[in-house]
Amino acid sequence: MHLIFATALAAEPELNRADLGVNAGLAATRSSTGNHRVDPALGLWARKGFGAAFGELELGFVTNADPVPGGTLRRNVYRSALLVGWRGGLRPMHVGFAAGLAASVVTGNDVMALQPGVRFRSDLHVPVGDRSMLVFHTGLTSRGRGADADVGLGWGLRW
């Protein structure tokens, strides 16, 4: 797989540079009642490219309100992830796949929990001008005995 992407990107040395981006979207966080409710999500990512490969630090936030009998369970999920991945394409538009370790801090209703897990993400980078890009992503993160899913649209800058 590395050879596939390395071949596709052989003429694109700028991918050794770094990217920084933000995104907004929807996340389905697994609650204690087992629901996957839809909530708005925000994210921030910083990526360093090494040709077709890259390393990335990703931060995410989602606030979840789960109606239960007698009230509402309100939780905030702060997610961080260290990912490694590969990207490539036959056009300036690139496809990326990344996987790595994740740690989620869940707060709410006087409880705080640290839940380690793993994260997988695929994304589509559409260049806009020389230094910026539009990014569509889908991600899946394990957390405790459940998993959260997220989709989002973001903006990135390369320097």
93 binds another protein (CB under 8 A): yes
Nearest Cα residue to 78 out of 42, 110, 111, 46: 42
49 binds another protein (CB under 8 A): no
User: Segment near another protein (CB under 8 A), from 55-63, 102-110, 111-119, 132-140?
Assistant: 132-140
90 binds another protein (CB under 8 A): yes
For residue 23, CA distances in Å to 20, 80, 124, 151 come to 11, 14, 13, 10
Q: In whole angstroms, how close is the CB of 5 to another protein at the nearest point?
A: 7
User: Segment near another protein (CB under 8 A), from 14-22, 24-32, 42-50, 105-113?
Assistant: 24-32
CA separation for the pair 124, 105 (Å, rounded): 27
From residue 108 to residue 127, what is the string marking binding to another protein with x (rule CB under 8 A)?
--------------x-x---
Give the DSSP per-residue string, 34-50.
Answer: S-EEEEEEEEEEEEEEE
- Burial environment of residue 51 by CB neighbours within 10 A (0 to 12, 13 to 18, 19 or more): middle
36 binds another protein (CB under 8 A): yes
Judged by DSSP in three states, 14 sits in helix
Summarize as ranges the residues that interact with another protein (CB under 8 A): 3-5, 7-8, 26-28, 35-38, 88-91, 93-95, 122, 124, 136, 138, 140, 147, 149, 151
